[in-house]
């Protein structure tokens, strides 16, 4: 224990702590800034005076955003898409990853590259649009938002590595005791895979929560839009300048943008602490086998 008290170690601890505090600061600052803006007066924000804490404190912006009926409709849509989409994605990814994690299945040598191929090559915007809206007939449907991104290749690889890392002996023992493939998967493998399932859930729910491209491409009816599209319109609109004699620039107040972003990010930020312990475990365990 003596070496821990050396000057060098103490100096290291101080420097280490300072660096970590700096990293924490630059990570948290955008969020602090956003929250401070959302509680400030518009005049202070547009003059660029707000940095760490609200100036001209007001909750009127939140009141304004929360009184907007459309906001809650979009919010509800996002919740539905996220919950249904995540459940489906995790299920499908697990169902794909488990068999493909078995090296003894010879067809896997063909199937795995087939799946990985999609990570590097995609058809492009218009072929996808034609596929989803015309061939699959999913135009303006919730399934157009949920199905195309249902299986992420990256998540699939992570899950496959995790399954491959589980002791083969457990499954053999269950098999000897007379359990079938589905029984082994449901009663042995899945209960041992809470960490990776929690990680996948987090990845998918965050992805689905922020998803705007699918809804933008495939949905037409305003009442089906998710909140991410609404936020995108507010934020990107500020940078969009139409040229022409009747050009209409964005006049959405910065405070409204900030409050909307805070309200939209809050639920998903709240999910993190609860899955934290599984999250790190799931990532690292999957990584060992590569």
Partner 1 sequence: MKRKLMALTLATAMVVTLGACGGGDSSGGGSGESGASGYEDPADLSELDYEFGVDTTFHSDEPVSYSLLFSDHENYPYKEDWRIWSAIEEKTNVTFDINLVNRVDYDDKTSATINAGSAPYIISKAYTETPYVDGGQIVAISDWVQYMPNYMKAVEDWGMEEDLRQLYQSDGKYYKLPGMWEKAAGGYSMVIRKDIFDAAGVDVTELEKNWTWDEFIDALIKVKEYTGADYVWSDQFQGQSSISISAVQYGVTAGWGVGNGLYFDWDSSKFTFADSSDSYKEFVTMWNRMFEEGLLDPESFTQDNEQGAAKFYRGETYVLSANYQNVADMMSAERMQDPNAELYFVVYPGGPEGHLQVESSRLECGLMISQNALDELGEEEFVKMLRFVDWLWYSEEGQTLCQWGVEGETYELDDEGNVVLNSDIYYNGINPGASKQLNVDYGFGGGVFSYGGSEWLRFSKFTDAEKDWNERIYANTETRKLAPPIMADEMQKEEMNLIQTPLIDYVNASCLQFISGDLDVEADWDSYVSQCESKGSTKFVDMANEIFEDTKDILGM
Report DSSP state, residue 121.
-
Q: What angle do CA 236, 239, 244 make, to 5 degrees?
A: 120
Binding of partner 1 by 247 (CB under 8 A): yes
Name the one range near partner 1 by CB under 8 A: 27-35, 114-122, 193-201, 248-256.
248-256
Pick the closer one to partner 1 by CB: 141 or 281: 141
CB of 229 to partner 1, least distance (A): 6
Where does the chain have alpha helices with state H?
A: 7-38, 42-46, 60-66, 69-100, 108-120, 125-129, 142-146, 153-165, 168-176, 181-183, 190-192, 194-210, 213-218, 227-237, 254-289
Of 82-90, 125-133, 141-149, 269-277, which segment contacts partner 1 by CB under 8 A? 125-133
Residue 107 binding partner 1, by CB under 8 A: no
153 touching partner 1, by CB under 8 A: no
Whole-angstrom distance, CA of residue 15 vs CA of residue 17: 5
Site for partner 1 in 5-64 (CB under 8 A): 42-43, 46-49
Structure tokens at 115: 């799946």
Name residues contacting partner 1, limited to 64-103 (CB under 8 A): 70
Decide if 281 contacts 195 (C-beta within 8 A): yes
Q: Does 239 bind partner 1 (CB under 8 A)?
A: yes
Q: Least distance (Å) from partner 1 to the CB of residue 121? A: 12
Q: Distance between CA 155 and CA 97 in Å, rounded?
A: 9
Q: Which is nearer to partner 1, 27 or 245 (CB)?
A: 245
- Assess 137 for contact with partner 1 (CB under 8 A): no
233 binds partner 1 (CB under 8 A): yes
129 binds partner 1 (CB under 8 A): yes
Alpha-carbon torsion (114, 115, 120, 124), positive or negative: positive
CA distance 196 to 191: 10
Are 144 and 219 spatial neighbours (Cβ–Cβ below 8 Å)? yes
Q: Which CB, 31 or 43, lies closer to partner 1?
A: 43
Query: Of the candidates 67, 107, 121, 251, which one interacts with partner 1 according to CB under 8 A?
Result: 251
Q: Residue 250, interface with partner 1 (CB under 8 A)?
A: yes
Of 141 and 253, the one with the shorter C-beta distance to partner 1 is 253
CB 149 within 8 Å of CB 207: yes
Give the integer Cα–Cα distance in Å for 99 and 159: 11
* Chain residues in the site for partner 1 (CB under 8 A): 42-43, 46-49, 70, 125-126, 129-130, 133-134, 139, 216-217, 220-223, 225, 229-230, 232-234, 236-254
């Amino acid at each position: 224990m003596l070496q821990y008290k050396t000057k060098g170690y103490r100096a290291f601890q101080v420097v280490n702590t300072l660096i970590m505090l700096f990293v924490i600061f630059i990570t948290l600052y955008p969020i602090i800034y956003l929250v401070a803006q959302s509680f400030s007066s518009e005049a202070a924000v547009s003059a660029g005076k707000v940095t760490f804490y609200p100036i001209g404190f007001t909750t009127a912006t939140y009141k304004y955003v929360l009184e907007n009926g459309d906001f809650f409709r979009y919010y509800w849509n996002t919740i539905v898409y996220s919950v249904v989409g995540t459940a489906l994605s995790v299920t499908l990814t697990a169902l794909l990853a488990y068999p493909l994690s078995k090296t003894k299945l010879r067809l896997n040598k063909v199937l795995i590259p087939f799946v990985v191929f999609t990570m590097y090559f995609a058809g492009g915007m218009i072929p996808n649009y034609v596929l989803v809206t015309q061939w699959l007939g999913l135009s303006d449907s919730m399934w157009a938002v949920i199905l195309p991104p249902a299986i992420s290749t990256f998540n699939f690889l992570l899950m496959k590595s995790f399954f491959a890392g589980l002791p083969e002996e457990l499954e053999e023992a269950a098999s000897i005791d007379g359990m079938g493939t589905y029984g082994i998967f449901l009663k042995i493998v899945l209960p041992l895979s809470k960490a990776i399932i929690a990680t996948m859930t987090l990845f998918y729910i965050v992805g689905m929560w922020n998803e705007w491209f699918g809804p933008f491409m495939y949905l037409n009816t305003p009442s089906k839009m998710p909140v991410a599209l609404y936020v995108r319109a507010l934020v990107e609109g500020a940078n969009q300048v139409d040229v022409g004699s009747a050009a209409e620039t964005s006049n959405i107040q910065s405070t409204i943008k900030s409050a909307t972003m805070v309200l939209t990010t809050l639920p998903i930020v709240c999910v993190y602490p609860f899955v934290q312990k599984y999250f790190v475990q799931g990532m690292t365990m999957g990584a060992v086998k590569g």
